[in-house]
Amino acid sequence: MEHILKKIKEYNRIIIHGHKRPDGDCIGSQYGLALIIKESFPEKEVIISGEASNYVSFIGKPTILEDESKFKGALSIAVDCATIDRLSDERINLADYSIKIDHHLPVSEYGDYQYVDDKAPACAQIITEFYLKFKNELKMTKEAATALYVGISTDTGRFKFDSVTSKTFNAAAILIDFGVDLSYVDNNLSIETVDTLKLRGWCLTNFETTPNGFAYLKMKRETIEEFKVSDEDAAAQVSAISTIKDYPVWALFIEYPDEIRIRLRSRGPIINILAEEYQGGGHPKAAGAHLNNWDELPNFIKKADDLVKVYKETLK
């Protein structure tokens, strides 16, 4: 962390990158870090380059940096992204120096320097710990604290996942002390449109299961268009089947215009190894992957079902 602060001090222009289809942790980490730097070093130019997220738009709405000349003489920092091809703005190497800050398993190195803590449940927790380590030199604001709190809260399932530790609650408590309005955050994270609720109803009547305990949803493009929801709202429906008794692993297979993505979740079995077989990866109990086509789906379902079977046998 000392090296990261040194580089932040060294550069007058800092560009902060996030990943494609950003979630709360990505946006929260981008804005949290940017606002801390801007408050601590007002003379610096801080740019957030990346895609926006409707879900956490109340934090901020990034856009892709158009002026490529801005990278010359700049420091680029990528947050919450394991691989460079997942960055929504992959031009990180155009900067004079680049840093990766992440909490996913380090499957791919990119940038001139990497700071990865795969035990942290959220990248926003790492950014908070960065502030705490140098709080005599860095300044926190209510807006930065709110962004980081949203990042931690969303990536831990509102503090429900078993990756949460006392360090997570400590970070959240410190952020709250900077004035985070919990009702404001909860209201923004909990609200749903009528179309999204209707899609959730569709999910609850169209999910499928396997004999050993794998539940899944197959969401084709026409379904997303029928319900007139965003891809982001459609992807969030992986949580719709997260509480089914005796089905500790579940997934959403969702068809985007250019790919078929798998959102894979677990309440017990380790699933990121399976995700890695399908061009993906992630955390032991929350991972993502790809299908090249729908013909690969039956084989994935079988492997997931076998995984649950082995897991349940170990519990006997």
Residue 282 has pLDDT above 90, yes or no: no
**Separation of alpha carbons 163 and 211, rounded Å:** 28
Taken in order 254, 259, 265, 271, the sign of the CA dihedral is positive
Residue range 303-312, pLDDT digits in tens: 999 999 999 9
Please report the pLDDT score of residue 281 as a whole number. 83
Residue range 95-126, pLDDT digits in tens: 999 999 999 888 788 999 999 998 999 999 99
φ and ψ at 133, to 5 degrees?
-65, -35
| Mean pLDDT to the nearest integer, 35-47 | 97
Please report the pLDDT score of residue 43 as a whole number. 97
Instruction: Provide the β-strand partners of residue 114.
Output: 100
Residue range 178-232, pLDDT digits in tens: 999 999 999 999 888 999 999 999 999 999 999 999 999 999 999 999 999 999 8
Give the 3-state secondary structure of 220-231: CHHHHHHHCCCH
Strand order in the sheet with 97-102: 45-49, 13-17, 75-79, 97-102, 113-116
Residue range 244-261, pLDDT digits in tens: 999 999 999 999 988 999
Please report the pLDDT score of residue 240 as a whole number. 92
Please report the pLDDT score of residue 95 as a whole number. 97
Residue range 128-157, pLDDT digits in tens: 999 999 999 999 999 999 999 999 999 898
Residue in this structure with the two tokens 């579940």, named with its chain if needed: 250
Give the chain's mean pLDDT. 94
Please report the pLDDT score of residue 132 as a whole number. 96
Angle at 135 (CA atoms; ends 129, 140), nearest 5 degrees: 85
Residue among 65, 66, 69 at smallest CA distance from 34: 65
Looking at the chain, the whole-number percentage of residues with pLDDT higher than 90 is 84
Q: Report the predicted TM-score, pTM, of the whole model to 2 decimal places.
A: 0.84
188-to-41, 91, 153, 285 alpha-carbon distances in Å: 30, 32, 12, 26
Give the model's confidence band at 18: pLDDT under 50 very low, under 70 low, under 90 confident, else very high: very high
Q: What share of the chain is helix, strand, coil (3-state, %, to 5)?
A: 45, 20, 35
Residue 14 has pLDDT above 90, yes or no: yes
Residue in this structure with the two tokens 């990865």, named with its chain if needed: 116
Q: Identify whether the C-beta of residue 103 lies closer than 8 Å to the C-beta of residue 117.
A: yes
Q: Identify whether the C-beta of residue 62 lies closer than 8 Å to the C-beta of residue 50.
A: yes
Residue 162 has pLDDT above 90, yes or no: no
**Separation of alpha carbons 16 and 76, rounded Å:** 6
| Mean pLDDT to the nearest integer, 42-57 | 94
Give the model's confidence band at 35: pLDDT under 50 very low, under 70 low, under 90 confident, else very high: very high
